[in-house]
Structure 1
Amino acid sequence: MSLYGKVALVTGAGRGIGRAVALSLAERGAWLALVARSEDELSRTAKLVTEQGGRAVVVAADLGEPASVAAVVDRTAAQLGPVDVLVNNAATVEPLGRSTDMDPHTWGAAFRLNVITPAALSFTALPHMTAAGWGRIVNVSSGIVAHPEALIGGNAYAATKAALEAHTLNLAAELHRTGVTANVYRPGSVDTAMQGLMRREGGGRLDEATHARFLRTYEEGRLISADDSARSLVDRLTGDATGEIWDVSDPR
């Protein structure tokens, strides 16, 4: 099935995996709603989309604010049409540090951005998708869910990604036979700003062995590009698989 003319909303589209997903979707003919906090970064992504003949609108918003969700979906519908494809990529790795030093309010804020916002965007987009009998929801997770013990100092991130995966698989079961699919994507170790943050600021905030692993992965050249990871995700969108955990390393 072609994605030509489908309206795709991508969060965290200003850089990294989100930007790469947006460009890959544009190559397949989708119309893009690009969402993130930084309007400047989104404008650069939009310029890249239009340079390759695609169509994109910039929707700058702080998705950590509950009121932003409806506004983002409404603005997308007004400028492009109702959302057909939703890629929830925006996330925070903060707060980092020992759990005994953690502020519960800050820890909870990670759940709002990493779990509640993707769920709320899905709930808002679903009426159109189910009425149309076609829709695609992908929630970008992390391989840390398979090994949560490997990110000591990143308790909030590990917990939120596990919750996001449980939400996605449950939602997929609810949507069985509606034509709307919901899947998880684990993008692998990608050379992104988040990886850079872990290397720069991980010392003293992450467990020593955990921080050393981030440094070693980078130094040994084992990070993959955002473009390669994004293609692995987008290549799967035209299929009917649902309720799956896709990993970048899986054959497709």
Structure 2
Amino acid sequence: MTSQRSLAGRAAVVTGASRGIGRAIAEELARAGAQLCVTARDAEGVGDTVAALRAQGADAVGAAGTVADPAHLWEVTERTMAAFGRVDIVVNNAATNRPYGPLMDADPDAWRTAFTVNVEAPLRLVQCAWRAWMREHGGAVVNVCTEGATHVGPNVGAYSTSKAALLHLTSQLAGELGPSVRVNSVSPGLVRTEMARFVWERAEESIAAGLPAGRIGEPDDVARAVRWLVSDEAAWITGADLLVDGGTRVRAASPAGDAHAVQRELRHHFPGA
């Protein structure tokens, strides 16, 4: 089976879909034939994404709001059901990398927000989809984590700890919801997004030189991995975390560049790298 129309007849929810990785995921799923409900905080960005999806021939609706609001997550689920009559796919991409800084200086409210957005919201959205459709009909979930969830680094303790929790949540849900619902995650490395521009724009050459793949990532690299995981091509895969990182974790063996220097550069400047 190829990716062409492999998701035809299925409806997907993608969070954080107004730009970057989230928008690329929505567009990739649409190319595979899925119907889309996209959400993000930026209403204009949601509208732009919906317009782009419709321009490529997809059925698409949108809902602006924050995933930190449980009512918004149920609104998204209801809108998907109203538009398409089903919720087959959930992609939890929305996230926050705040608070940034040492944990000893972390504001408790900001810390709780990180876990609300990065861990609680994905669980709540899966609960909504489960109750509305997946309990009776099955489905597939992908949580967007980060290559840095297994590392300790300066200033990104809240982000990385919450993403590590999301990794475990992925495994837990896979165990609880199988066999009808598959739950996996993808863990990107440094990707060419606006959020990470301040890293790759000034250090792309040196970072790429230290990666076995020889380049930093593009949003489409992550999107294609997500499309595969939610498709029938990955029907025997659940509870897995797919690294989409250009070889970040194995770059110490690469003969090109100063791998340790690149590692330090990423850890210092890029949350989750």
- Same structural fold, with TM-score higher than 0.5 when normalized by the shorter chain: yes
Q: Does the 8 A contact of 1:43 with 1:58 survive in 2?
A: yes
Alignment partner for residue 234 of structure 1, among 227, 231, 238? Answer: 227
Identity %: 38
Write the deviation string for residues 167-211 of structure 1: whole angstroms up to 9, x where unpaired: 11011011222x2100011122111122136x4xxxxxxxxxxxx
Match of 1:206 in 2: none
Alignment partner for residue 153 of structure 1, among 155, 176, 179? Answer: 155
Write the deviation string for residues 120-168 of structure 1: whole angstroms up to 9, x where unpaired: 0001111311201x30000000001122x1x310111001100001111
Match of 2:9 in 1: 5
Q: Does the 8 A contact of 1:188 with 1:229 survive in 2?
A: no
With over 3 angstroms needed to count, the CA separation of the structure-2 counterparts of 1:164 and 1:218, relative to structure 1, is: farther
With over 3 angstroms needed to count, the CA separation of the structure-2 counterparts of 1:219 and 1:145, relative to structure 1, is: same
Q: Does the 8 A contact of 2:216 with 2:246 survive in 1?
A: no
Match of 2:181 in 1: 180
Q: Does the 8 A contact of 2:54 with 2:60 survive in 1?
A: yes
Unaligned 5+ residue runs, structure 1? Answer: 200-212
d(CA) in 1 for partners of 2:122, 2:40: 13
d(CA) in 1 for partners of 2:86, 2:8: 14
Establish whether residue 32 from structure 1 lines up as the match of residue 28 from structure 2.
no
TM-score of the two chains, using structure 1 as the length reference: 0.86
CA drift of 1:248 comes to 1.7
Match of 2:134 in 1: 129
d(CA) in 1 for partners of 2:205, 2:35: 34
Write the deviation string for residues 6-52 of structure 1: whole angstroms up to 9, x where unpaired: 11000000000000000000001100001101111111111221111
2:189 maps to a residue whose letter is G
Deviation larger for 35-44 or 18-27: 35-44
Q: Does the 8 A contact of 1:93 with 1:194 survive in 2?
A: no
d(CA) in 2 for partners of 1:53, 1:70: 26
Q: Secondary structure at the match of 1:92?
A: coil
Match of 2:239 in 1: 243
Match of 2:24 in 1: 20
Match of 1:89 in 2: 93
d(CA) in 2 for partners of 1:53, 1:167: 34
d(CA) in 2 for partners of 1:176, 1:236: 15
Alignment partner for residue 61 of structure 2, among 57, 63, 68? Answer: 57
Q: Does the 8 A contact of 1:61 with 1:72 survive in 2?
A: no
Q: Secondary structure at the match of 1:29?
A: coil
Q: Does the 8 A contact of 1:233 with 1:248 survive in 2?
A: no
d(CA) in 1 for partners of 2:69, 2:95: 13
Q: How many residues align?
A: 233
Match of 2:269 in 1: none
Q: Does the 8 A contact of 1:16 with 1:226 survive in 2?
A: yes
d(CA) in 1 for partners of 2:65, 2:84: 17
Q: Secondary structure at the match of 2:186?
A: strand
Match of 1:190 in 2: 191
* 1:197-216 matched pairs, under 5 angstroms: 199=199, 216=203
Match of 1:69 in 2: 73
